[in-house]
Each structure stands twice: as C-alpha cells, then as structure tokens.
C-alpha cells in the first residue's frame, strides 16, 4: 500500500508539473482523475496524507484573517527608471564598482509579489511581499495554485520569490460567467490571493511566475542565470525569457524586444527588469534604504488618453486640505474605463490651465485614479474652475497656504471621517473591518470625532450602528483591542501628519525612537533625514506645537502602547514596564536614559497615564511627578534608577 501511495503521488505530481509548469500535458484529464480518486480513497481509508500529496492542493475552509509573517530575508522592491538617462545613471553606478559588468534582462510582470518558504525539501508557507520585512500568510490560498512544487530536491532553508498573475485569457473567461466583473488583471490577481476564502482563489485560477531566490541556507548561486536555472530544476514555473547582455546596447535592444513582445503576451507586464548578473559582487554595490543598487525596473510609458472635463468637485481630506477631483467623459485607458481624474491642488489647476469643458490629457500610471497631465484645447464652452470661497461641506472658513486650500474647521465632517479612516487603515493601526462607512456611522450616530474616542466604544455603542450585529460588533471591538499595541512607525503614520507617509514614518521612528523625541525635534534635525523635506519638516514641528494635537496624542497614549521598532527584550530589568522620565537627571541625558530603558525591555511614554508602571523623577520634576503621586504610580529617583542598572 505504501509503495502504491508513493507511486500515485509521484505520478500525479509529474503530470501536474507537465500540465501547469511546462504547459505540456502528456496525458488526458480523465487518466489523472482516475489515479487522483484512487489516492483519495486510500488516504480516507488510512487517514494518512503525505506532505506532497496532490490532495493537499485544495485550500480548505475560509480563514478569519491573515497572520503576518516575517520573511527570512528582506524582499526588496526595485528602483524604477522611466528614461534612458536614469538607466545610464544606473549603469554608471555599477561601473564604478564592477569592470565589464554583465546584465540579465527579464520581463517585469504586473501582479502580486509572493514569497514561498521551503525547509528540508518541503513547502512550508506562502506569504505576500507585504512591506518587504513581513507579509501576510496566504498558504491556504496559495495551495490552490499548481504552478509550484510541494516537494523539492534542495534540502536547506529556502525562500523563493515570484509574481502571482492571472492570465488575460483566463480573466476573460472568468468574466463571461462572473456576477461581478474583474476589470484589471493585476487587481484580480491580488484580490484572488488576498481573499479570505481559498475557494475564491481557486475559482480565479491565478498562477505564479518565479524569478528569484531570495534566501538560500546552504550553498549559493553565483549569477542571476543560476537563480533561474535553480528554480526551474526544482520544479517552479519560470517564464522562458532571460537575456544575458554584455553591453548597455544589448540591454537596450533586449528592452525593446520586451516592449514589442509584451503586447502579444497573455500576461500583464509593465516593464523590464535589469540585474547585474554576477551575484557575488552585489553586496559590494549594496542597497539604499529601499532598493538594491544592482538592479532596476525599466517601466514602459504609462497609458495616456484625451478626454473632456465635465466638472470639478472639491474633496476635503483629513488635514482639511481641499483636493480637486475632475469628473471626465468616460474614456478607455489600458482596458479600464476612466471617469475620474485627479488634480493636485488649486495651484495645479492654474499651472496646467485646466478648465471645465476643455479637452485634457490624462495618464494612468500605478495610481488607482489617473492624473490630469495638462490641457489639450479649450472650447467655446470652457469655463474657469471656481475657487471655493468657503468649505463646500461645512461652509466654514478657508485658508490659502501656498498652492493649497484648507478648511480650518476641525469639526468638518469629511475631515473627521477621513482622519478616522486613515487612522484605522493598513500600514497605520490596521484595524480590520473598519471602513470609511464605519467611520461615517461612528461620527454620525455616536459622535466619534477623534481616533482616541474609538477606544472607549462599548458593545452597546456599536450595536446602534446600522448593519452591526453580534459577530460584526465583536469583530470590530476585537480589532480595536488588537490595535492597542503598535509599532512606533505605524503610530506616527496613523496620527496623520500632512506629508508624513509610510516611508517617512519609518525613517522618523528609526531615527527618533519615540514620539517624545520626535515631538522635540527641530526643523533642522528633521530635514537632515533623507526622507524629510523642508515643507514636511515645518509641518511636523507645527503639528507638535498645536495644543489640540497634543491633547489627542496624550489621549491616544492612554489607550495605546507604542513599541519601539527595534526588538524589545522583554526579559530585561524593565521588561513589561511603561516608564515615564521627568525632571533632569545628572548623569544621563533624557535620550540616554530612554535608550537604556528600551534596551532593557521597557517602553517609554511621554506622559503619565493609567498604563504607566514606573516614573523616574529627576531634579525639578513637575506636573508629571504630581500626576504620578496622585494616581499612585511607583516613583524612583536617579539613585534608585542607577541601583537598578547594577
């Protein structure tokens, strides 16, 4: 029986490999089904299922949410070049380090980047790229895809990288019978993988094209070409195009080849990837914050089209900024019908000469909403876009700062809704199941006008919202509870300082280490960071100078423990403690003391809250000390602090 099972598994896997990886089946479907049924019957009888059995290729029950999982090695994204000058700059950087470099050129597929982990020859898990450091565990979803092996010859720890895509022909077939049409192959692929129900993944039939070995425990691969060969040898699906180029001219002609070739491809592509072939010198060339310096993605020009502006509406964002959004005559752009296009601000409208009823050029790049590039021609009916004199939502006062207009009313509804939605969003507090509609209801029904108020919501409160029943209520409250501990960079992003995105938040978190340090930073210190410009630096210092913001910040810290992004040693002497430093210490600066506490497992807070477990009071400590005494938090002085460190 054992031999028969092994025979069935090996035979079925070989056939599946021929069918799904090589696109070259050697048998009829019904022959496959016959052996598959036999294997299933034996498995049911014995209750034993081998790890590489093809019967594991069903995703099983829907999952409740995606666990996050750290990659063994960071998955970098690639820097982009859109002009030949940028490409030349890339070559020049390489040539400073490597003589006569050799390059590989490959297709760049437009889907969802995946990372598959193997250990001891067995498939362990599949994750999305996520932020490069950690991604979402999509193993159940991925198991329904058959273009990768469950068992491989390589025995060490291994992480391979690929792009999950849906073929254009498969998407077309799917749309012919689907209730809900999927418009774009990239979103369809991402939606298929990031779907809680593996059955949906299976229905949409994504596949994965592998192109990189991200981590290899034992042995090594000397070149990009070897990466490709290794993947193929171990049974992964690899797209059959990898051009080896000895000169920049050869790279240029390979790019041209891809630009022409991609038009007849059944898979969505948006560029070419150029890598230094020799993997051994890559470390010498190194990495920027975000990208490897030894590889680049050459992106083909985004799609453009002409259309007519019908109307311009103003939207109010979380900072009160008014953003114009143009409604345009529907136009097809790369297979997607476009009805809306963005303009940046009032200044942008003037600079581009955009008027209502004028013909404009729009471009869709990676953004969801295309952008208006400029005006093509005016007509007799062209009229200027009206600059709003008061807020279109609350009727409140409008202030003009540079090229931007702001509604200054903090109680303006769209501002509040946008702020709450942003606070809960992915990359911020990541409160699952919290949508813009949730934010709107929370504000309208319960008067939640600040993120800090979310943390006092009760079951009874949430039950007042439309569509919220038992399960949904407990899900929302559980998600809120889960967000009570968050990494510093995500917290910085969540509070929503204008111009401070995810990248800047990360840089700020890494540099300053705490909200308290960040709040004291001067504009000069901020500008010194790579990701912070003049205007953003001013915005940050201005944000921390605002009384209302500080009040809200303190209210948030009452409810949320902000952890340093660095790994915390919870067994240290301050393990599990929330510590507030106040007054002046004679032997340490504030940030030295803070560093010591954090390195020993403690979390530093900027103000005394109900969560504070310890206050270290130096000379002339004031309000914080008084508050600590009032609520009965343990207080020690500098001598005792030093004693602890011994």
Binding-site ranges for Zn ion (CB under 5 A):
391, 393-394, 396, 407, 409, 412
Q: Are 461 and 444 in contact (CB under 8 A)?
A: no
Q: Which is nearer to Zn ion, 409 or 421 (CB)?
A: 409
* Distance in Å, CB of 346 to Zn ion, minimum: 16
Beta strands (DSSP E) in 223-302 are: 243-245, 269-276, 295-299
> CA angle 118-124-127, nearest 5°?
95
Token digits for 86?
């940028």
Residue tagged 């979380």 (tokens): 318
**Rounded to the nearest 10 degrees, how much is the dihedral formed by the CA atoms of 344, 399, 533, 419?**
-70
> CA angle 446-427-197, nearest 5°?
85
d(C-alpha 568, C-alpha 644), whole Å: 18
d(C-alpha 268, C-alpha 112), whole Å: 11
Q: Which is nearer to Zn ion, 409 or 438 (CB)?
A: 409
389: DSSP letter: S
* Distance in Å, CB of 458 to Zn ion, minimum: 30
Q: Are 396 and 402 in contact (CB under 8 A)?
A: no
95 is catalytic: no
Catalytic residue, chosen from 108, 299, 321, 624, is: 108
Task: For residue 532, give the 3-state DSSP assignment.
Answer: coil
Of the candidates 190, 189, 194, which has an alpha carbon nearest to the alpha carbon of residue 206? 189
Q: Which is nearer to Zn ion, 391 or 419 (CB)?
A: 391
Q: Which is nearer to Zn ion, 91 or 393 (CB)?
A: 393
* Distance in Å, CB of 389 to Zn ion, minimum: 12
Strands 371-377 and 359-364, bridge-based pairing: antiparallel
d(C-alpha 236, C-alpha 17), whole Å: 9
* Distance in Å, CB of 418 to Zn ion, minimum: 11
d(C-alpha 309, C-alpha 312), whole Å: 8
Q: Which is nearer to Zn ion, 394 or 550 (CB)?
A: 394
* Distance in Å, CB of 391 to Zn ion, minimum: 3
d(C-alpha 487, C-alpha 610), whole Å: 20
d(C-alpha 294, C-alpha 103), whole Å: 10
Q: How far apart are the first and last CA of the chain?
A: 66
Alpha helices in 182-240 (DSSP H): 185-193, 198-204, 224-233
* Distance in Å, CB of 577 to Zn ion, minimum: 43
d(C-alpha 14, C-alpha 123), whole Å: 16
Q: Which is nearer to Zn ion, 158 or 405 (CB)?
A: 405
Phi-psi region of 271 (alpha: psi -120 to 50; beta: other; left: phi over 0): left
d(C-alpha 376, C-alpha 383), whole Å: 15
Sign of CA dihedral 228, 229, 230, 232: positive
Q: Which is nearer to Zn ion, 191 or 396 (CB)?
A: 396
Query: Does an H or E element contain 482, and which?
Result: helix 470-482
> Between the CA of residue 160 and those of 76, 211, 234, what are the distances in Å?
13, 8, 11
d(C-alpha 375, C-alpha 348), whole Å: 12
d(C-alpha 544, C-alpha 492), whole Å: 12
> Between the CA of residue 310 and those of 246, 384, 546, what are the distances in Å?
52, 12, 39
Q: Are 479 and 507 in contact (CB under 8 A)?
A: no
Q: Which is nearer to Zn ion, 349 or 407 (CB)?
A: 407
Task: For residue 152, give the 3-state DSSP assignment.
Answer: coil
Q: Which is nearer to Zn ion, 300 or 393 (CB)?
A: 393
d(C-alpha 162, C-alpha 67), whole Å: 20
d(C-alpha 549, C-alpha 545), whole Å: 8
* Distance in Å, CB of 405 to Zn ion, minimum: 11
d(C-alpha 110, C-alpha 270), whole Å: 6
* Distance in Å, CB of 225 to Zn ion, minimum: 58
Of the candidates 130, 164, 129, which has an alpha carbon nearest to the alpha carbon of residue 144? 164
Number of H helices, E strands in the chain: 24, 26
* Distance in Å, CB of 56 to Zn ion, minimum: 55
Q: Just list the catalytic residues.
A: 108
């Amino acid at each position: 029986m054992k031999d028969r099972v092994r025979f069935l598994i090996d035979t079925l896997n070989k056939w599946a490999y021929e069918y799904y990886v090589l696109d070259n089946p050697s048998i009829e479907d019904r022959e496959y089904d016959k052996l598959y049924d036999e294997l299933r019957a034996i498995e049911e009888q014995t209750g034993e299922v081998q790890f590489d059995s093809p019967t594991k290729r069903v995703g099983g029950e829907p999952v409740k949410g995606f666990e996050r999982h750290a990659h063994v090695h960071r998955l970098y994204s690639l820097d982009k070049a859109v002009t030949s000058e940028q490409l030349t700059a890339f070559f020049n950087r390489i040539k400073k380090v490597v003589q006569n470099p050799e390059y590989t050129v490959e297709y760049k597929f437009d889907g969802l980047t995946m990372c598959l982990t193997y250990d001891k020859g067995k498939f362990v898990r599949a994750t999305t790229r996520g932020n490069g450091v950690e991604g979402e565990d999509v193993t159940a979803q991925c198991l329904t895809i058959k273009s990768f092996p469950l068992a491989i010859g390589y025995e060490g720890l291994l992480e391979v990288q690929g792009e999950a895509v849906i073929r254009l022909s498969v998407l077309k077939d799917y749309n012919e019978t689907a209730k809900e049409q999927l418009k774009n192959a990239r979103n369809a692929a991402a939606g298929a993988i990031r779907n809680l129900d593996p059955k949906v993944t299976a229905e949409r039939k994504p596949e994965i094209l592998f192109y990189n070995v991200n981590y290899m425990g034992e042995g090594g691969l000397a070149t990009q070409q070897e990466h490709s060969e290794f993947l193929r040898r171990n049974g992964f699906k690899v797209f059959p195009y990898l051009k080896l180029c000895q000169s920049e001219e050869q790279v240029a002609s390979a790019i041209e080849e891809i630009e022409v070739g991609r038009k007849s491809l059944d898979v969505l592509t948006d560029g070419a990837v150029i890598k230094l072939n020799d993997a051994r010198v890559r470390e010498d060339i190194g990495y920027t914050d975000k990208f490897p310096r030894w590889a680049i993605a050459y992106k083909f020009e985004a799609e453009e089209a002409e259309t007519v502006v019908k109307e311009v509406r103003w939207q109010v964002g979380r900072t009160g900024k008014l953003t114009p959004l143009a409604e345009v005559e529907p136009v097809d752009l790369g297979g997607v019908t476009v009805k809306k296009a963005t303009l940046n601000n009032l200044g942008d409208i003037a600079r581009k000469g955009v008027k209502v009823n004028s013909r404009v050029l729009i471009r869709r790049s990676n953004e969801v909403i295309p952008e208006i590039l400029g005006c093509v021609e005016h007509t007799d009916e062209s009229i200027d876009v009206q600059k709003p004199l008061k807020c279109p939502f609350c009727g409140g006062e409008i202030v003009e700062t540079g090229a931007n207009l702001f509604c200054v009313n903090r109680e303006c509804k769209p501002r509040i809704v946008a702020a709450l939605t942003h606070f809960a969003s992915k990359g911020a507090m990541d409160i699952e199941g919290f949508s813009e509609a949730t934010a709107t209801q929370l504000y309208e029904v319960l008067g939640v006008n600040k993120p800090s108020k979310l943390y006092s919501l009760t079951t009874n409160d949430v039950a007042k919202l439309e569509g919220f029943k038992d399960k949904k209520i407990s899900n929302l409250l559980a998600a809120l509870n889960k967000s009570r501990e968050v990494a510093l960079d995500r917290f910085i992003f969540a509070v929503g300082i204008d111009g401070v995105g995810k990248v800047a938040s990360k840089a700020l978190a890494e540099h300053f280490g705490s909200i308290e340090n960040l709040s004291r930073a001067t504009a000069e210190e901020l500008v010194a960071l790579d990701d912070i410009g003049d205007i953003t630096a001013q915005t940050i210092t201005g944000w921390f100078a605002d009384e209302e913001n500080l009040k809200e910040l303190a209210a948030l810290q009452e409810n949320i423990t902000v952890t340093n992004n660095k790994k915390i040693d919870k067994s240290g002497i301050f393990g599990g403690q929330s510590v507030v430093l106040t007054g002046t210490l004679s032997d340490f600066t504030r940030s030295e003391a803070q560093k010591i506490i954090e390195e020993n497992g403690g979390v530093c807070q900027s103000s005394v809250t109900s969560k504070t477990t310890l206050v270290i009071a130096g000379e002339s400590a004031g309000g914080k000390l008084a508050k600590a005494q009032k609520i009965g938090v343990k207080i020690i002085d500098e001598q005792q602090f030093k004693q602890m460190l011994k």
